[in-house]
Copies of this chain bind each other. A is one copy, B any other.
Amino acid sequence: MTAAPLFDKIAVIGIGLIGSSIARAARKQGLARSIAVGDIREDHCAKALQLGLCETATTDLRQAVKGADLVLFCVPIGANAEVAEKTVPFLKAGAIVSDVGSVKQAVVRDIGPLLPEGVHFVPGHPIAGTEFSGPEAGFAELFQGRWCILTPPSGTDEAATAKLCAFWKGMGSLIEIMDPAHHDMVLAITSHLPHLIAYTIVGTATNLEESVKGEVIRYSASGFRDFTRIAASDPVMWRDVFLNNRDAVLEMLQRFTEDLTALQRAIRWGEGQVLEDLFTRTRAIRRGIIDAKQDS
Residues of A within 8 A of B (CB): 78, 102, 127-129, 131, 146-147, 149, 176, 185-187, 189-208, 212-213, 215-233, 235-236, 238-240, 242-243, 246, 249-250, 252-253, 255-257, 259-260, 263-264, 267-268, 270, 272, 275-276, 278-289, 292, 294-295
The 9 sampled A-B contact pairs (Cβ below 8 Å) are A149-B219, A187-B219, A199-B278, A221-B294, A229-B295, A231-B282, A231-B286, A240-B272, A243-B270
Q: A256 to chain B: which residues have CB within 8 Å?
A: 200-201, 204
How many copies of this chain are found per oligomer? 2
CA distance A217 to B190 in the complex (A): 8
Cβ B263 vs Cβ A294 within 8 A = no
Q: A259 to chain B: which residues have CB within 8 Å?
A: 200, 203-204, 207
Question: For residue A212, which residue of chain B has the nearest CB?
Answer: B186
- B191, B208, B270: the one within 8 Å of A219 (CB): B191
Cβ A190 vs Cβ B289 within 8 A = no
Cβ A194 vs Cβ B276 within 8 A = no
CA distance A294 to B246 in the complex (A): 34
- B176, B228, B257, B270: the one within 8 Å of A286 (CB): B228
Cβ B268 vs Cβ A194 within 8 A = no
Chain B min CB distance to A217 (Å): 4
Chain B min CB distance to A197 (Å): 6
Cβ B220 vs Cβ A294 within 8 A = yes
Chain B min CB distance to A172 (Å): 13
Cβ B238 vs Cβ A267 within 8 A = no
Q: A220 to chain B: which residues have CB within 8 Å?
A: 190, 289, 292, 294
- B78, B192, B205, B235: the one within 8 Å of A279 (CB): B235
**Among A191, A242, A257, A280, which residue has the most Cβ atoms of chain B within 10 A?**
A242
Chain B min CB distance to A65 (Å): 27
CA distance A275 to B78 in the complex (A): 14
CA distance A275 to B232 in the complex (A): 13
- B189, B218, B224, B263: the one within 8 Å of A194 (CB): B224
Cβ A276 vs Cβ B239 within 8 A = yes
Chain B min CB distance to A36 (Å): 28
Chain B min CB distance to A102 (Å): 8
Cβ A201 vs Cβ B205 within 8 A = no
Cβ A223 vs Cβ B191 within 8 A = yes
Q: A218 to chain B: which residues have CB within 8 Å?
A: 147, 176, 292, 294
Cβ A242 vs Cβ B275 within 8 A = yes
Cβ A285 vs Cβ B201 within 8 A = no
User: What are the 10 closest A-B residue pairs judged by CB atoms, nearest first?
Assistant: A191-B222, A235-B279, A194-B223, A232-B286, A202-B282, A231-B282, A190-B224, A191-B223, A217-B288, A228-B286
